[in-house]
Structure 1
Amino acid sequence: MSIEMEHDWQAVFATPKPKIGERAKTNLLLLLSLLWVCFGLIGHTPWKPDELQTMSIVKHYVLGGHWAVPTLAGVPDIDNPPLYYLTAAFFTKLLSPLLPMHDAARIVTGLWMGLALTLVGMAGRELWGIGSGRQATLIFIGSIGLVFSAHMLTPDVAGLAGYAMAFYGLALAPRRAIRAGLLLGTGAGIAFFSKGVQPLEVILACALLLPLLFIHWRQRSYLGVLLIAAATASPWIAPWLLTLKHQFPALHEHWLTSAGLGNLSFLYFLKTLSWYAWPALPLAVWTLWRTKPDHASVELPLLFLLILLAVLGTSASSRDINALPMLLPIAMLATPAVETLRRSAASALDWFGLMLFGTFGFLIWLGWFAMMSGLPAKLAERMHKLSPTYTPGFSLVAFIFAALVTLVWVGVVFKTNKRSNRAVVTDWAVGMTMVWGLAMTLWLPWLDASKSYQGVFSGMRHAMPSTYSCIIGRDMGEGQRAALDYHIDVAVVQGKSSSAGNCNLYLIQDERDRAKVDLGPGWKLIWQGKRPSDRHESFRLFQRG
């Protein structure tokens, strides 16, 4: 590889030397990121829908299932390739018996998110200069739509890390061809091996269109970037596809045919971004308004965002979590606005964030106090109604962490330099960390008691006969089948008819026991139940005498 390939267009991305205090600011960002990532990773059972399905698949791998075929409750499920599940299974084995299986598996979510945050910062620094990487990361952390998904057991987190790595590779391409090719190929491979064809389409389209549309990537060295990326991505893609094709041809055919176009959902994603991407979205709009359209640092994230919207809007299901990768280019576009936003607008955005997070923080503390003391009585009654199985108990460790994170937020609010626009993104990031930290310390047992299936299905297990042939499941969702498999080792056979096969148990999921059931002679109801806080799902178990 020639020196020219390595150093072309260095001048385009030339940056000043670090200022005094940069290391201290970086260390504070690392501490904030660590707190943001760690809160909520352990201490609760899998929640529906994604976590339950993930844990059923991880359990399959821990018990020795074939690496190429994710299996949910005994049924192959290859909607997502197995990278995330395999890494979660590895940590489950590594940390057993120190942590429950779901907590050990969730550690890998923190590692994937840590990688994603690092790459977001590096991409922001590459596009906008030294110091901008911190701002990009703070904007990313402060995004309202990121915090819940980033702490869950879901392949989307690994897919996000792959997107971020590929994006950083594209940003680096005009200046460091070899490194950019390795990052681009590895990121594309990780994204594919976590989420399938869709991220590969986005990354490939962006990589090919950049030199066609924009002069900054129209260099001889860019062809080398693409060739290196192709060679680097192949080991992530080829083994799984070849294994499926030769060892599981039916699954391979199903995977190919299920990767087609879906419903048009552009409007859904645009509406979702209106709240999902705050505070990055208004900052990104300001950047587009103020910056010349041919600026290299605008061209890449804008193209990446438009391609994402085109692909997601035609092939993805309408779920909020599918908008997760859009936060990456929006945060990149929002980064320079931190310096150029008018003081009046910056102050308004800052005060909105302070009021928002201050209100949520106060309500979380108030709800916790009501659960512990019974005062105010109406609020305590409401909290109990929403999670009837929760028994209040004081945890000194949770209280200390909650108090500390609250004091840190108060200190940041009063200590940050309000004359600087950077206070906006700092306050948002710290505020988001504070609210999430309070929810995952003070309210975590209450939330877990409300959202967990462990109690209801444990009751079903006690009511089941010691021996049975099999269980027919009627109208069972994937999350519920996964919960049965993970919590009580029960697999159901989907079916409508009670006469299917030789099964002598029949489990029905419906809404509030409203479905009329006529199973014929010989069947009797032996158990019924639901999560106490659930207003919709209920379960009934019948046995053939």
Structure 2
Amino acid sequence: MNQPSPAIVTQHAVRPLPRVALVLFCLAYLLPGFVGRDPWKREDITAFGFMSSLAELFNGHASSWLKPLLMGQADPGAAILPYWLGAWAIQWAPSWITPDAAVRIPFALLLVMAMAATWYAVFALARNPSAQPIAFAFGGEAQPIDYARALADGGLLALIACLGLARLAHETTPALAQLSFTAALFFGLANLAAHRRTALVTIAMALPSLALSGAPSTALLLGTGGALVMAYQERRTIRVRMLDVGLIFLICLATAQLSSWMDVWRWRLHSPSFKDVQPMAKLFIWFLWPAWPLAIWTLWRWRLQVAQAWKHPHLALPLWFLAVTVCSTIGTGLSDRTLLLALPAIATLAAFALPTLERSLSALVDWFTLVFFSVCALTIWVVWLSMQTGWPAQPAANVARLAPGFSFSFSAPVFGIAAVATMAWMALVKWRAGRHRAAIWKSLVLPASGAALCWLLLMTLWLPLLNFGRGYAPLVDKVSSLIGPTACVNTQGLALSQSAAFAHHGRYRLIPIDTPKAPDCHWLIADHIALKEVGVSLQTWRHRETIFRPTDDTEAIVIFERAMP
């Protein structure tokens, strides 16, 4: 027996979010972070290093396309496909585009794909009969297509609103590729009943792509479990259901075989303990905010359907994706990059809370969002004003203490973009308080817009400071001022991120000191922590200087000069 839907929605409540406004909003969230930013430590610059090595930029340190190497070391995460995408972008980009800017192009498109796949997945799941609102006795209920479109808009807004998405989704790392292909797989499974051929092609693309992006076990779990979840569709014949499950299982087997052939299986299991409870709670609360309260509300209001979830794919499919990614996060040491893969699923669950929200709860979400993001935006502006004018004095003093040596300059275009974005936020708050009060997606407009505003302000007003604080360019510039241009530099114990930074920013040919038949370079740079464990021959090398990264006194580079015979 099918349980009644808790959604009571009128046609008036599913008015569409204007498409132009939605596209412009997505672009305002997408572009900041991909334009004008240096590669940051550590995963971002490390991934760029692997891509540049494949593209043969690092002074002859080319690596195999089947096993990307950086300074002779393989990626611990065994990702391959994201590095191919970045290397191809470097090779195909025109000469006026710098390599670090070129690699951001395919990754920006991956974020676009993740957004689009989430929208269409929610749209497909919302058209399922069990997800539809209750039909009124005298008509006037929301039409299926309009209802699905309104929920899809809400799902996309919920995805953008998640605080954990902003930074990781704007890095050129395998994590973004995994998010994009997880969303594509989610889309394919959600559309299996309505658009079978498109869905199977998408699944056949997404599963091996996710595996080659460093998540083969997650790909197989999501694919096999998702196939079983979507097999139970009352509108389809048993023969079609079983055929689709069999085809997806074959794709999973082929993906497993490909993963073995490409040697991308990595087991990074971590046994959770009681001391992990508090960090785990903090990670889940802030990373998945504000989608997780709405997802819990969905599970409560749709609880009768949750009890028979296998009959209701709009609940079962996102619950399966969420369960797999949350368990993977716990089992891999609370990695936020693993939890990133849960965002399309939890955004979908949050979307299905919208037609059941009570007015008081919706108002609470609006007021909390308004206060939280307004305070965040005001803080960003105040710190920027302090760095520009010295008033108020305390923020500028804090910046000088935390980022010694940083000098700030005024940029009229940056100021204009930030000012327009802030005025748009004010106009949106006024708009939210007035018109379109009945639209079911209204409760997620302010959370998504607030997240986009604060991210845009950070990536405009604070971008020079963030590049200085999170990048390696200041450290490399200090080292370069001492050693100057040189044919080669020996290295000792450098992390992959440090090696990539010196190769990119300094254009040095780096040769580890323990490399067989390594040439005798005039300079040696070593990580100060690794140096304590290994040391160098004082008969061969003479210590010149120890240089700390300006914003981190725990990270330093020790410079040695070859002793004269």
TM-score interval for Structure 1 and Structure 2 normalised by the shorter chain: 0.7 to 0.9
Q: Find the residue that maps to 1:530 and give its secondary structure.
A: strand
The residue that corresponds to 1:48 in the other structure is 41
The residue that corresponds to 2:21 in the other structure is 28
Equivalent pairs: percent with the same residue? 24
Matches of 1:175 and 1:219 in 2, distance apart? Answer: 15
Go from structure 1 to structure 2 and tell me whether the alpha carbon gap of 1:399 and 1:21 turns closer, same or farther (over 3 Å shift).
farther
| Shift in Å, 1:514 | 8.7
Matches of 1:390 and 1:532 in 2, distance apart? Answer: 9
- AA of the residue aligned to 1:48: K
Contact 1:92–1:104 under 8 Å retained in 2: yes
Contact 1:140–1:328 under 8 Å retained in 2: yes
Q: Deviations over 1:465-497 (max 9, x none)?
A: 8768762413x33322222232233435377x9
Go from structure 1 to structure 2 and tell me whether the alpha carbon gap of 1:61 and 1:240 turns closer, same or farther (over 3 Å shift).
farther
1:79 is matched with which residue: 73, 77, 80? 77
TM-score by length of 2: 0.82
The residue that corresponds to 1:307 in the other structure is 324
Q: Deviations over 1:138-179 (max 9, x none)?
A: 000000110111111111111111111111111122333222
The residue that corresponds to 1:536 in the other structure is 554
| Shift in Å, 1:280 | 0.5
The residue that corresponds to 2:478 in the other structure is 459
Does residue 287 of structure 1 match 2:298?
yes
Alignment of 1:57-136 (within 5 A): 57-63=50-56, 65-77=63-75, 79-128=77-126, 129-136=148-155
The residue that corresponds to 1:172 in the other structure is 191
User: What value does the CA root-mean-square deviation take over the aligned residues?
Assistant: 3.3
- AA of the residue aligned to 1:46: P
Go from structure 1 to structure 2 and tell me whether the alpha carbon gap of 1:155 and 1:409 turns closer, same or farther (over 3 Å shift).
same
Contact 1:529–1:539 under 8 Å retained in 2: yes
Q: Deviations over 1:198-236 (max 9, x none)?
A: 332332342354268887888432333345446767887
- AA of the residue aligned to 2:329: L
| Shift in Å, 1:401 | 0.5
The residue that corresponds to 1:422 in the other structure is 441
- AA of the residue aligned to 1:184: I
Does residue 402 of structure 1 match 2:448?
no
The residue that corresponds to 2:129 in the other structure is none
Matches of 1:397 and 1:414 in 2, distance apart? Answer: 26
Go from structure 1 to structure 2 and tell me whether the alpha carbon gap of 1:466 and 1:409 turns closer, same or farther (over 3 Å shift).
closer
Alignment of 1:1-12 (within 5 A): none
Go from structure 1 to structure 2 and tell me whether the alpha carbon gap of 1:387 and 1:142 turns closer, same or farther (over 3 Å shift).
same
Q: Find the residue that maps to 1:67 and give its secondary structure.
A: coil
Q: Deviations over 1:62-82 (max 9, x none)?
A: 216432221223323262332
Go from structure 1 to structure 2 and tell me whether the alpha carbon gap of 1:78 and 1:425 turns closer, same or farther (over 3 Å shift).
same
Unpaired runs of 5+ residues, structure 2, are 57-61, 127-147
The residue that corresponds to 1:261 in the other structure is 269
Matches of 2:530 and 2:501 in 1, distance apart? Answer: 19
Matches of 1:99 and 1:542 in 2, distance apart? Answer: 35
Go from structure 1 to structure 2 and tell me whether the alpha carbon gap of 1:502 and 1:445 turns closer, same or farther (over 3 Å shift).
closer
TM-score by length of 1: 0.85
- AA of the residue aligned to 1:480: Q
1:480 is matched with which residue: 498, 513, 516? 498
The residue that corresponds to 2:135 in the other structure is none
Matches of 2:104 and 2:256 in 1, distance apart? Answer: 25
Q: Deviations over 1:86-144 (max 9, x none)?
A: 11222223334333211221122211000100010001111122321110000000001
Go from structure 1 to structure 2 and tell me whether the alpha carbon gap of 1:520 and 1:213 turns closer, same or farther (over 3 Å shift).
farther
Go from structure 1 to structure 2 and tell me whether the alpha carbon gap of 1:172 and 1:213 turns closer, same or farther (over 3 Å shift).
closer
Question: Could you tell which deviates more after superposition, 124-133 or 219-228?
Answer: 219-228
Go from structure 1 to structure 2 and tell me whether the alpha carbon gap of 1:177 and 1:435 turns closer, same or farther (over 3 Å shift).
same
| Shift in Å, 1:462 | 4.5
| Shift in Å, 1:511 | 6.3
Between Structure 1 and Structure 2, how many residues are aligned? 516
1:276 is matched with which residue: 261, 265, 287? 287
Contact 1:183–1:229 under 8 Å retained in 2: no
Matches of 2:477 and 2:328 in 1, distance apart? Answer: 42
Matches of 1:319 and 1:103 in 2, distance apart? Answer: 27
Contact 1:472–1:493 under 8 Å retained in 2: yes
Q: Deviations over 1:372-398 (max 9, x none)?
A: 111112222222222233322111110
The residue that corresponds to 1:339 in the other structure is 355
| Shift in Å, 1:299 | 1.3
Contact 2:53–2:70 under 8 Å retained in 1: yes
Matches of 1:530 and 1:47 in 2, distance apart? Answer: 17
Matches of 1:455 and 1:540 in 2, distance apart? Answer: 15
Matches of 2:408 and 2:484 in 1, distance apart? Answer: 34
The residue that corresponds to 2:158 in the other structure is 139
Go from structure 1 to structure 2 and tell me whether the alpha carbon gap of 1:374 and 1:355 turns closer, same or farther (over 3 Å shift).
same
Contact 1:485–1:491 under 8 Å retained in 2: yes
The residue that corresponds to 1:327 in the other structure is 343
Contact 1:83–1:193 under 8 Å retained in 2: yes
Question: Could you tell which deviates more after superposition, 362-371 or 18-27?
Answer: 18-27
Contact 1:522–1:544 under 8 Å retained in 2: yes
The residue that corresponds to 2:134 in the other structure is none
Matches of 1:317 and 1:71 in 2, distance apart? Answer: 25
Q: Deviations over 1:521-541 (max 9, x none)?
A: 453212321221213111112
Question: Could you tell which deviates more after superposition, 510-519 or 403-412?
Answer: 510-519
- AA of the residue aligned to 1:369: L
Matches of 1:239 and 1:307 in 2, distance apart? Answer: 22
Matches of 1:408 and 1:431 in 2, distance apart? Answer: 11
1:393 is matched with which residue: 364, 387, 409? 409
Unpaired runs of 5+ residues, structure 1, are 1-11, 245-251
- AA of the residue aligned to 1:156: A
| Shift in Å, 1:313 | 2.7
- AA of the residue aligned to 1:281: W
Contact 1:527–1:541 under 8 Å retained in 2: yes
Contact 2:163–2:287 under 8 Å retained in 1: yes
Go from structure 1 to structure 2 and tell me whether the alpha carbon gap of 1:345 and 1:163 turns closer, same or farther (over 3 Å shift).
same
Contact 2:298–2:350 under 8 Å retained in 1: yes
Q: Deviations over 1:433-471 (max 9, x none)?
A: 111111111110121122221232233244348768762
Go from structure 1 to structure 2 and tell me whether the alpha carbon gap of 1:189 and 1:417 turns closer, same or farther (over 3 Å shift).
farther
| Shift in Å, 1:21 | 9.3
Matches of 2:505 and 2:74 in 1, distance apart? Answer: 19
Matches of 2:96 and 2:432 in 1, distance apart? Answer: 40
2:218 is matched with which residue: 195, 199, 210? 199
Matches of 1:238 and 1:45 in 2, distance apart? Answer: 37
